[in-house]
Every structure is written in C-alpha cells, then in structure tokens.
C-alpha cells in the first residue's frame, strides 16, 4: 500500500486546469493501490492555489511556501518535490505533462532513485499504459522501483468534480537548496485567448495558412466561440505563430470538444496531438489530405473562402 502524490501545476497564483485532470488519474491510482491521495503545492505565496484544491476529496494538501520557489527551477523544485514525496511516503509521484512536469519529474525520479513513465494514460495497480511512437502504439510498462514517478497525459482524463468537505492542509518545512541556474526573464505570449490545452474549442492552421497575418482568420473564429488557436509545426517553424501553440507529438496534446483543422494535411506527428478530440472538422482543398481520414466532418474547399464563410455563419448562429 502507498499513497499517490499529485504535484499541482499553477501559473501566476492560479491553478492550471490540467491539475484537475491529473486529480482524476490520482483518484483512480489511489483506489487501485488502496492508498490515500495527496496533493503537493509548492511555490511562493501559494495558499490561494491550495484553496482552489479544497473540496476535491483528497486526503491532504501539503504546501511548501518559500520565496526562493517563486520561479520554477528544476533544481530547487526537484529537491522540494522529492523531499515532500519522502515525507508523505508516496508510492506514485505524478504531475500533469505540461512543460513544467516534463522538465521537473525526471529530476525528481533521479533524486528518489525511481523509475519514471512519461505521459501515462492509466494504471492498474502494477502497470502503466502510455503512448509511444507519436501515439501510434500504446505500451504497457512496469516501473520496477518502489517509488514510481510519472507525468500524466491529462487530455486522457476528465477534470475532477468537487465533492465538498474539508481538506486538511499541512505546511511542510523543507529547506530550498541553492540553484546553479538563474532565471533571467519570461517572454510571455501575449494572448487573450485560452491555452489550447484548456480550451473546449481549438482551431488550428498549417502550411496552407501561407502567412502569420492569415491566422487572423482563425483567431476571429476562435473568438466567436471563446476558443483557442493552435498550429502545426510547419506554421510555428515559419514564425507565423508562437511556439506554445504547436499541437502534436512533441508539442501540446489537446482533446477539446471541437477541433477544426484548417489548411493542414495531417502528419502523424500533428495527429498525435489532437486525435482524441471529441469532434474533428477538417477544411482543406486537397481531398487526399490524411487529416480527412480521422475527421468527423470534412470540407474540401479553399480555406480562404471557407473560413470567412464559417465566421459569418457562426456570427449568425450565435447572435
């Protein structure tokens, strides 16, 4: 028996929604192990983040609050997460697989002498399942060490619902080591739109968009229904949109209610990032484009004709 410890992901004092998906994994895993589910919130002034996590039925929320944890750093956070995992006797230590989880959790695994499984889809009490080869295959893996570290492919899990009740919160005293790495600055993507991983609706463009300017067409549709804009690697490489909009094997994995793929052919790598969307629409003038093979609705048309039309139709529909 052992507990499951989920590391909360947060940004600017707010919980990242992926943590709620991670909680669903955590509950399932704790049930399988017959152990408790714990949450770990670390950073500077993070009691507000912990408050957001009250009432989800976890056994305990641990907090490590320290000014030197203000900026995420693999070295300092890695130390704190590993120490906290030891203190709460965690058998499985897990985090959502955003860039923070990906950067941090191997470091935690190394500190705990634990094996690690990346981007897990499930756990049966012994084995984890996870995708490999750009989502083409699902592997069953066993992590042989006593403690097991994982990142969670959160698109695979629904967000946990609040169940009410009090959740005990415990402050942990863990000293933070010096870091050999210095945070210089963050160039934030300036966008009023939601992140593709958190949106119910995503409209993505590929090479067919022809320029960054033309992404305005997609932004207009996104804004009509409060959605996010995504992109293929080709569009990001061309500098048309910011890097954090890349959807795919090595970028973001998304699973919104509706994904509209525009002017993109559908490489294996891109489809790995969006094939689990609930409904998929593909708009492309090439009817041979592979994206049509996984789309629920395909429209063979020039995007520069179809997208403005779609904007007009949605405006009418929604007003």
65 binds other proteins (CB under 8 A): no
281 binds other proteins (CB under 8 A): yes
Structure tokens belonging to residue 178? 């010096």
Span of 25-33, 50-58, 165-173, 235-243 interacting with other proteins by CB under 8 A: 235-243
User: Contact 204/271 with Cβ under 8 angstroms?
Assistant: no
14 binds other proteins (CB under 8 A): no
52, with CB counted inside 10 A (0-12, 13-18, 19+), is middle
Q: Using CB under 8 A, which of 17, 86, 193, 275 touches other proteins?
A: 275
Instruction: Report the DSSP beta bridge partners of residue 279.
Output: 258
Give whichever of 50 and 295 is closer to other proteins, judged by the CB atom.
Answer: 295
Q: Give the C-alpha separation, 235 to 314, whole Å.
A: 25
Q: Using CB under 8 A, which of 13, 44, 139, 223 touches other proteins?
A: 139
Q: Using CB under 8 A, which of 3, 21, 100, 154 touches other proteins?
A: 100
Residue listed under structure tokens 């609930």: 278
Question: Which runs of E-coded beta strand occur in 192-278?
Answer: 201-205, 228-231, 258-262
Q: How far is the CB of 269 from other proteins (least distance, A)?
A: 7
Give whichever of 45 and 99 is closer to other proteins, judged by the CB atom.
Answer: 99
Q: Using CB under 8 A, which of 13, 44, 48, 145 touches other proteins?
A: 145
Q: Using CB under 8 A, which of 169, 193, 242, 285 touches other proteins?
A: 242
Structure tokens belonging to residue 122? 């499930």
Q: Convert 64-85 to b/e letters by CB count within 10 Å (16 or more is b).
A: bbbeebebbbbebbbbbbbbbb
Structure tokens belonging to residue 224? 């009509």
Give whichever of 143 and 152 is closer to other proteins, judged by the CB atom.
Answer: 143
- Contact set for other proteins, span 169-228 (CB under 8 A): 179-189, 195, 197, 201, 225
Q: How far is the CB of 219 from other proteins (least distance, A)?
A: 17
């Amino acid at each position: 028996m052992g507990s499951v410890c989920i590391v909360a992901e947060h940004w600017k004092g707010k919980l990242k929604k992926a943590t709620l998906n991670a909680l669903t994994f955590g509950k399932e895993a704790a049930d399988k192990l017959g152990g408790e589910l714990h949450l770990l919130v670390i950073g500077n002034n993070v009691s507000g983040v912990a408050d957001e996590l009250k009432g989800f039925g976890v056994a305990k929320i641990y907090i490590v609050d320290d000014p030197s944890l203000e900026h995420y750093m693999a070295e300092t956070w890695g130390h704190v997460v590993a120490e906290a995992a030891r203190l709460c006797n965690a058998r499985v230590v897990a985090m959502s697989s955003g860039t923070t989880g990906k950067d941090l959790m191997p470091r935690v695994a190394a500190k705990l002498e634990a094996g690690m499984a990346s981007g897990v889809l499930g756990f049966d009490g012994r084995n984890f399942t996870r995708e490999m080869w750009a989502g083409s295959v699902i592997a069953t893996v066993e992590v042989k060490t006593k403690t097991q570290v994982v990142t969670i492919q959160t698109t695979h899990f629904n967000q946990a619902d609040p169940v009410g009740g009090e959740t005990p919160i415990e402050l942990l005293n863990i000293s933070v080591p010096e870091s050999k790495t210095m945070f210089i600055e963050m160039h934030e993507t300036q966008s009023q739109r939601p992140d593709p991983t958190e949106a119910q609706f995503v409209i993505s463009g590929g090479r067919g968009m022809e320029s960054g300017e033309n992404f305005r067409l997609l932004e207009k549709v996104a804004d009509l229904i409060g959605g996010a804009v995504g992109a293929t690697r080709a569009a990001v490489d061309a500098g048309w949109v910011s890097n954090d909009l890349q959807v795919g094997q090595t970028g973001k994995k998304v699973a919104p209610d509706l994904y509209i793929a525009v002017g993109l052919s559908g490489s294996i790598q891109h489809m790995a990032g969006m094939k689990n969307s609930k409904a998929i629409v593909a708009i492309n003038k090439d009817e041979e484009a592979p994206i049509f093979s996984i789309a629920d609705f395909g429209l063979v048309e020039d995007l520069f004709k179809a997208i403005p039309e779609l904007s007009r139709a949605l405006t009418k529909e929604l007003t």
